Amino acid sequence: MVREFGLEEGINEVIGITIADWVNTAPIGVIVDEGIRVRLFENHTRKFVKKTGILYVNVIHDPVIFVISAFEDLSEDFFESLEPPVIKNALSWIKFKADLKGNYAHLSFIDGGVLRRDCRAVNRGFNAVIEATVHATRYVLNRRKDLLDKIKYYGRIVERCGGKREKEAYKLLMEYIKPSKAEADGPGGI
């Protein structure tokens, strides 16, 4: 059923959208095997799912959207529709009923739509932005140097293989993970 909207077996990297106190957006990995589920940590997506029992997802291939939504909520300007919530240039949207059990939300299809389809060659720069984003969301929590090395490794692939949009996404990513002034100054700083 979800296949026609772009979710296939494996982990589908999509933008999760939950609407409660505000419109909350975050990249999430929807796991499709015998069932459909998503791991939700202690974040707003989880809190809003708990409140409403509803999770929307958008299938989209815009690297800038993945980077921004990994670090903050997309403002309404990024949407082409809010009912259902559809980010500009998203390929499809799905509305799920979401039941929290332990670390997972188990998802049941309610509704969905395909807005457009893509014909674009594989771009390693795009893929590298996705990998860099995964590492960056961990890096901001622990500042581990091995994660920063990986982020920079993918940055070199973005530089070589990416287009304008991938380069813009990576530049944004590096801004988001910059140490805050307090961190940069270190414990002895003023």
The residue ranges that bind its own copies (CB under 8 A) are 4-14, 29-30, 59, 61, 66, 91-92, 114, 116-125, 127, 130-131, 134, 160-164, 166
Report in angstroms how near the CB of residue 136 gets to its own copies at its nearest.
Answer: 14
Residue number with CB closer to its own copies (117 or 181): 117
Contact 66, 27 (CB under 8 A): yes
* Nearer of residues 159 and 185 to its own copies, judged by Cβ: 159
What is the rounded distance in angstroms from the CA atom of residue 64 to the CA atom of residue 53? Answer: 28
Partnered with residue 96 across adjacent β-strands are 55, 109
3-state secondary structure of 121: coil
Minimum separation from the CB atom of position 42 to its own copies (A): 22
Strand partners, 36: 32
Whether residue 128 contacts residue 162, with contact meaning beta carbons closer than 8 Å, is answered with yes
Least distance in angstroms from the C-beta of 12 to its own copies: 4
**7 versus 40: smaller Cβ distance to its own copies:** 7
